[in-house]
Each structure stands twice: as C-alpha cells, then as structure tokens.
Amino acid sequence: MDHLLTEARNPASTNLDELTPLDLVRLMCAEDAQVPVAVAAQAEPIAQAIDAIAARLQLGGRLIYAGAGTSGRLGVLDATECPPTFNSPPGQVVGIIAGGPRALTQAVEGAEDHPEFAQKDLQALGLNANDVVVGIATSGRTPYVLGAVDYAKAVGAFTIGFSCNPDSDLSGRVDLAITVPAGPEVLSGSTRLKAGTATKLVLNMLSTGAMVRLGKTYGNLMVDLRATNEKLRARTNRIVRQLTGLDQEAADALLQNCDGELKTALVAQLGQTTPDDARARLSASSGRVGQTLESLRSATATTHPGLVLGIDGGGTHTIALLAQVSTRARSASKGDETLARRASEGTLLGRGESGPSNIQAVGPAGALAALDQAVQAAFAEAKLPRGTVGAACLGLAGADRAADRDLILEWAKRVRLTDKVEVTNDAALLLAARYPLTPGPSPPQGRGENLAGEGWGLAVIAGTGSFAYAKTRNGTTSRSGGWGYLLGDEGSGYAIAVAGLQAVARAADGRGPATLLKERLLQELELAQPQELIPKIYRGGMDRPALAALAPLVIQAAATDQVARSIVSKAAQELAETAAVLAKRLFTEKFPLVLAGGLFVGELRYREAFLEALAAQGIAFEPVAVVTEPAQGGVRLAMSMLPLA
C-alpha cells in the first residue's frame, strides 16, 4: 500500500499536532477546497455514469452501491436518501456494506478482506443484467469491492468503479471508471476526510443526475418527494405556490384534491385539467412533469396572434398588460410601420399585478412565479383563456445579465408565452411608453398625444432603487446607476429613507442637529423613542421596499426642516449626476426626458429638485414626461415585433 496516493504523507500537515485549533481549521479548509476541482476533472465519466444508471433504472433495473468502511457507509447513506427525496420505489437504489448492517455503526474487522462476502450479498439481492453496481473503494483495491464488481460483470450488470488512486485494481475491472485523486490526507491514511468528501460529491451527482433524467424534478424543484413529515409537507406547499402563484390556502386545497400528490397537483393546475386526467398523462409521460405539460399545452393550445403582452417587473411589484392590436395596424404598409403608428392602434384588454420579480432580490423561483401570476391575472381580467400571444416585451429590473435573460426566455418557452419575446431592463420600457393606450372594447382613433419624443432620450427611475438609461436617435444605448442598495442606488427611496433614519440616530446621540424627522418617522413606525429603531429595523421584518416607503415623509418634511431639506437636496443632486453622465456621453442636442418610479410620480417636490439639479449641470432636455405605467412601453415594443400582414 506504500504506493497509494491516499496513504501518502501530506507535507502541509507534518506538524499537525502542533497546530492551534484555528490553524488546523484553516489547513483542513484549504485541503478540502482542492476536492471539488479534482471531482470536476472527472466530469465526463461521471456524466456517462449518470446516463448508464438512468437507462438501467428506466428498464426496471437497480442502482447498487458496494463498499467497505466509510465508502460503504456513504453508499448506504445515498441509497437511503433517495426514497424521501425522489419518491423512488423501495429497493430501486440499494447500498451494501462489508460486514452487513452492523458495520454502519461499528467496525467489523476483516469483513472487507473477503470478496466472496460481496458475491453472497449481491446474490441475496437477486442481482441481474438490468442492474448497475457502483464499487466504491477510495484505495481502489478493497477485496470486498473487487469481488462485487467481478460478480456483477459475470451476471451482465453494468459496473462502475470509484477510487481516489490512479491506475487502481478497481479501475481495470469495471465498465466505467471514475478516478478522483484527492491527494494525501491531512491525517495520513484517514480516507474519511478528503477521499470521503470526494466520494460524497460523486455519489450526490450519480443519484441526483439519474433521478433528474427519470423526471423526478421539474426545473430545479423536487416534485416527486414524499410529504411524510411537517417539513416535507411545508416544502410541497411551497413548491406548488412557487410554480402556480397560488396562495398557501389554495395550494393546500389543491394538494388535498390531488391526494397529496405533488406532480398531479402541478399538472392539474398548470395544465388546467382534472386530477385523474393529470395522473393518466403523467403515467403516459413516465412521470415527467415538464413533458406532460408540454404535451397537454400542445393538445389544448390557445393562440392569440393579435394580442401582445407588456410586462414591467421590479423590486416592489410586477405589472402585465394584455393588449389587442387592431387590424388596421397589422395591415399597415411597410412605409407606415413605425412604433408611433402601432401605438395609436392598441387597446388594453387586461391588467395583472403580482409581487416583485427582480431576480437578484427574490431569486429565480420567486421572480418566475410573479411573472406567471401577473400574466395569468391579465388574461383573467380580459376574460380570455390564457394562451400564446403574438409578441411580448418584458422590462425587468435585475435581468441585465445574459444568464438571467436566458432563464426568463426558458420560462417563456416553457409556458408557451410567445414565439417572439424580448427581455430588457425596466428603464428601457419608459422611452417607448409615450402614447396613451385606450382601455375599452374599441381601438382608439387618432395618433394620441406624443408624451416623450420618438422612442429615444433619457429615462430615469427613482423608486425603491434608482437607475438611468439612455438611447440615441440612431439606437446607441448606455446606462448608469442601478448598482443596488449596497453599492449605489443614490437618490432612491431607500437611500433617502436610510439617510432620514440616520439623521434621527445622530440627533438622538447629540452628534447631529435636531430634526422634525424624529417625531415624524417615530410616529409612522409607531415607536416611542429613537432607541426602539434598532429592533424595529433589524428584527422587525422591514425589507428594502418597506424602508423606502418612508422616503415621502422625509421629502414632505423638507418644506420646514433643514435636515430633511439637506437630505432631499443631496439625493436629487446625486441622482442628477447619475443622469448627467449619460446625457453628456450620448447627446449633443436637447433630448426627451422620461421620469418614473414612486418618488417621481408621487412627490412633486422631489421631481422639481431633480430637474433643477439636472439643469444646473448644463443639461438641456425637452419635453419631460412622467410615466405612471411603464408596462405600456412593453406593449409598444411588443407591437413593433409583430410582422405586417
């Protein structure tokens, strides 16, 4: 065994017994950090193993882990976790260990030295050619494991070997070898450390990957779990809410109507069918929720080629507008095809509202659920069956990265939103939201009032956060701000509110001047004294939108309070600087200026302070428009995506 990498001395830990606890922890962390890199180097054989396991399980075979000591225990652990996690049938994933069940809790000396013991254990399971046997031996030479793979090959089962030593005996005796050289252990020869970590990582991938291939998940959610305890029941309800937009009570009712079957509940709700039909369709699709919904939507697809969706999603709420494009607009001549012409020919049919859909703030699952709920509500208000529209434009805060846009596009494809979809940032909608759409049964007549130029200019948002976006006549775009509350968002509602609260704290300490903000903010928060701000802010459940909602109080106090006036003036100046950077970068002429967000819409004093600060920078702008429904810009842009008839 002297030649084995797992038995070698680690030069980094030769003075292990002299290290302080802190130094020992740091050393082990540094050594453990090498393990994922070594595992990643075996990505291809691990992926091949996943395919082989899934194929055998699909045919009714089993995944059987065989190991001794730590390796055997980890195999049994992974097998044991599969039924509650994936609702896998009993016996589909099995772990055998040298020395039998007793070896799980105590050492059974000498058991691993007998290859014939493994043969007997596999014979007791009735091993056959449909099964997969994964031999786990970090040394690559454990007799019990070698005996297991030898017998498995003899009966025609597919064999996979996992070891942490290159060119091991095990790797030469299996159909597929996975070798992860984790390196010498901190404690020489103690393969429960790095080698054990490598083993756990690989087994995680094998079982999870195979179960995903078998349709045990929908997206990245466990949809085939068994709700056998309170934690799993809560998780089941949460998954229903995330994917359907239902509230907790409605999700419970749906699950009860579907006998607690999560997959059935999802297909019944998302596919708008009965539980019995959902079960039958799931059975025909081998239990795959995504495939079942795809076939269901294909069979019952409703199309609305003359409708478009404009969606505005931010950190506070999500708005979806469903609009109809008139026949006149769709048949316009090529020379007349302009956004202005299209904008005069739209009729709002439905408006849907839901919670925040900023991916960076609420995460992918929360954002997608909010989008889906808003779209569903828009169709419901229009009294139309939900279906595929002609085009859609989604302006979403926090979706500027390519990976985030791809996630949104994948969702749009999955729910059959439309074949023509554009995902952009929320500020981009503002420059298009310039002609008033007319709600009602008939298309509006005339061109409508030009509110903000011809689809170019500078858009500035001041709400919970802040952001500026500019577009020139020739289509060049640029942005400024939008760095989030930790790195930026100057001039936002959150920044103003925090500045106001900080002024109250300074005044309470005597470090700053007295201010009317003390009485006004304490009264709004129902507090008796400034010291109560600490538990209210840090433990009272006030998120960023809740804090930003205090900004109007600061702005209103500026009429009579010097401290508040200074805060508002500084915020307006900083936001003007954010906007001026873009104006100086892109424009050499007067440009249209579009303002949006709760502070600009609801607070005239702040809007005027910002415009004065921007003009003081030598910036020339005209006209100025305040957009109260940015999603209308999404409707405009979606209209422009439709082909002419």
Distances (CA, A) of 132 to 145, 178, 240, 275: 14, 14, 34, 35
Token pair of 280, please? 């039958």
The Cα–Cα gap between 197 and 549 comes to 47
- Side-chain half-sphere of 397: how many Cα atoms within 13 Å? 31
Distances (CA, A) of 91 to 130, 161, 201, 606: 14, 21, 22, 67
Residue of 31, 112, 185, 490 with catalytic role:
112
How is residue 172 annotated by DSSP?
Answer: G
Instruction: Give the residue from 74, 59, 51, 77 showing the smallest Cα distance to 131.
Output: 59
The Cα–Cα gap between 453 and 433 comes to 10
How is residue 157 annotated by DSSP?
Answer: -
| Catalytic residue flag (residue 81) | yes
The Cα–Cα gap between 361 and 5 comes to 45
Torsion, CA 620, CA 621, CA 622, CA 627, rounded to 10: -170
- Side-chain half-sphere of 322: how many Cα atoms within 13 Å? 28
The Cα–Cα gap between 267 and 534 comes to 46
- Strands 457-462 and 388-396: what pairing? unpaired
- The contacts of residue 645 (CB under 8 Å, 6+ apart) are 327, 330, 331
Place of tokens 């970590």: 197
- Strands 158-163 and 591-596: what pairing? unpaired
Residue of 81, 294, 337, 353 with catalytic role:
81
The Cα–Cα gap between 138 and 141 comes to 8
Straight-line distance from the first to the last Cα atom of the chain, in angstroms, rounded to the nearest whole number: 78
| Residue 12 buriedness (CB in 10 A; 0-12 / 13-18 / 19+) | middle
The Cα–Cα gap between 428 and 469 comes to 7
The Cα–Cα gap between 436 and 458 comes to 19
The Cα–Cα gap between 310 and 630 comes to 9
What residue type is assigned to position 366 of the chain?
Answer: G
Q: What are phi and psi of 149, to 5 degrees?
A: -75, -30
What is the sign of the dihedral through the CA atoms of 411, 416, 422 and 426?
Answer: negative
Contact (Cβ atoms closer than 8 angstroms) between residue 215 and residue 50: no
β partners of residue 439: 348
Task: Show which residues are catalytic.
Answer: 81, 112
